[in-house]
């Protein structure tokens, strides 16, 4: 019997699980999925719980329901250490040995050690976070809404907040604070311009070259001296991998993503897939996205099977279908299969893919209903 452990029940973890479970009998595999959550969280639609009234229950899928169909052991626990030499995974309750390991534990919000930010801001790592944020919006009346970070998440959150406030006829300031000279980091200039134009249309202010300097219970101050009183602060200023990965002695990028080779290997018995993996693609590193997480999860599983069959491993060939910045006023900007797109069409593609990739038939129907009624 060969023991295979998968860490993380997200897109990459599940894609590898689905692939491995097909070969369970043939190769006598004992597959264990370790997840710190009982449910799969559908992350791409978290901002939509705010402005588009998507119900959080439609973004959750029980891993236990899956274990009955796919015949794997589900261990609900948090991995705290991995010993690559001993081939051992340590969780909060036990340690387990493996023959093959797939690390697919994604990333989490990076507060860069700023405890004030951790205590006084909201984040969007899970469905629970989205529910907590929505509850706070409903309960409180904030004087302003600040979003730290002008990446995809920050922009999606800001536009959803504007739609949320407009539906309730509340006029308030929404500000995105970005440390870099421009929003959306390495994305092409035409796309940044397109997003900036829409943010202006939605009366969302963008402050670049600035950081949040001081966070107190009642006020938030920026590096340029501006202070916002009684503002809601949402932290979307970057991500990092889990502590157990940060402690691994392997090559990593500053976020702690593990550098993998062309076969997605960390070593002969260990693979990394999804946001955890740092993969060189066209002289750059591949961005974090669902499409790559799913393909990498499947590829690492295939390579485990090929190792067991004594076959040559296959290289992971990244196929980039494109990228979309969907904004909550039904205006999107993106590149799909090489074509530049603006307006409603990229938004339509984004939600089409979200529905296609969400888990469970009931969830798919629920999301469609929420999108239709939430936009009414």
Ligand X SMILES: Cc1cc2nc3c(=O)[nH]c(=O)nc-3n(C[C@H](O)[C@H](O)[C@H](O)COP(=O)(O)OP(=O)(O)OC[C@H]3O[C@@H](n4cnc5c(N)ncnc54)[C@H](O)[C@@H]3O)c2cc1C
Contact residues toward ligand X (CB under 6 A) are 7-13, 34-37, 41, 43-44, 46-47, 78-79, 104-106, 124, 152-153, 242, 244, 274-276, 288-291, 293
Nearer to ligand X, 10 or 366 (CB): 10
CB of 167 to ligand X, least distance (A): 20
State the residue for tokens 């700023």: 114
| Residue 209 Cβ vs ligand X, minimum distance, rounded to whole Å | 24
Contact 142, 120 (CB under 8 A): no
Least Cβ distance, residue 139 to ligand X (angstroms): 22
CB of residue 117 vs ligand X: minimum separation in angstroms? Answer: 17
Beta carbons of 32 and 75 less than 8 angstroms apart:
yes
| Number of neighbouring beta carbons within 10 Å of residue 97 | 12
**Cβ-based burial of 373 (10 A; exposed 0-12, middle 13-18, buried ≥19):** exposed
Rounded CA-CA distance 26/97 in Å is 21
Residue (21 or 276) nearer to ligand X, CB: 276
Q: How many whole angstroms separate alpha carbon 13 and alpha carbon 284?
A: 24
- What burial class does residue 37 get, using C-beta atoms within 10 Å of its C-beta: 0-12 exposed, 13-18 middle, 19+ buried? middle
C-beta closer to ligand X: residue 289 or 333: 289
H or E stretch including 56?
none
Minimum distance from CB of 14 to ligand X (Å)?
A: 7
At its nearest, how many Å lie between ligand X and the CB of residue 357? 9
C-beta separation of 78 from 208 below 8 A: no
What span, in angstroms and rounded, lies between the C-alpha atoms of 329 and 267? 46
User: Whose Cβ is closer to ligand X: residue 194's or residue 222's?
Assistant: 194
**Residue 130 Cβ, how far from ligand X at the closest point, in Å?**
8
Q: How far apart are CA 235 and CA 358, in angstroms?
A: 25
State which residue, 175 or 354, has the beta carbon closest to ligand X: 354
The residue among 222 and 273 lying less far from ligand X, judged by its C-beta, is 273
User: Which tokens belong to 18?
Assistant: 């689905």
Q: Compute the distance between CA of residue 36 and CA of residue 334 in angstroms, rounded to an integer.
A: 33
Nearest to ligand X by Cβ — which residue? 10
Give the nearer residue to ligand X in terms of CB position, either 264 or 289: 289
């Amino acid at each position: 019997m060969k023991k295979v452990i998968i860490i993380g029940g997200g897109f990459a973890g599940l894609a590898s699980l689905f692939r491995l479970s097909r070969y369970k009998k043939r190769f006598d595999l004992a597959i264990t999925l370790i997840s710190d959550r009982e449910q799969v969280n559908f992350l791409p639609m978290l901002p939509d719980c705010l402005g588009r009234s998507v119900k959080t229950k439609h973004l959750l899928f029980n891993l236990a329901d899956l274990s009955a169909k796919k015949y794997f052991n589900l261990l609900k626990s948090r991995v705290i250490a991995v010993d690559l030499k001993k081939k051992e995974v340590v969780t909060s309750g036990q340690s387990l040995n493996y023959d093959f390991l797939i690390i697919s534990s994604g990333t989490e919000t990076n507060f860069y050690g700023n405890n004030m930010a951790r205590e006084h801001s909201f984040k969007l790592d899970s469905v629970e976070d989205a529910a907590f944020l929505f509850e706070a919006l409903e309960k409180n009346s904030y004087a302003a809404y600040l979003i730290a970070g002008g990446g995809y998440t920050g922009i999606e959150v800001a536009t959803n907040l504007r739609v949320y406030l407009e539906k309730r006829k509340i006029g308030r300031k929404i500000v995105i604070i970005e440390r870099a000279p421009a929003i959306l980091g390495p994305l092409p200039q035409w796309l940044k311009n397109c997003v900036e134009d829409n943010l202006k249309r939605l009366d969302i202010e963008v402050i670049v070259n600035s950081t949040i300097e001081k966070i107190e219970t009642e006020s938030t101050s920026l590096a340029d001296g501006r202070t916002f009183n009684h503002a809601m602060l949402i932290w979307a200023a970057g991500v990092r991998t889990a502590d157990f990965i940060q402690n691994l002695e392997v090559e990593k990028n500053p976020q702690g993503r593990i550098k993998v080779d062309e076969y997605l290997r960390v070593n002969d018995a260990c693979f990394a897939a999804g946001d955890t993996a740092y993969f060189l693609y066209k002289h750059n590193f591949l961005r974090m996205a669902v499409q790559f997480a799913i393909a990498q999860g499947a590829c690492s599983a295939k390579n485990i099977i090929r190792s067991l069959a004594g076959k040559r491993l296959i290289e992971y060939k990244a196929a980039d279908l494109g990228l979309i910045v969907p904004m909550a006023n039904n205006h999107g900007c993106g590149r799909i299969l090489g074509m530049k797109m603006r307006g409603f069409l990229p938004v339509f593609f984004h939600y089409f893919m979200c529905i296609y990739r969400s888990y469970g038939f009931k969830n798919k129907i629920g999301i469609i209903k929420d999108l239709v009624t939430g936009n009414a």
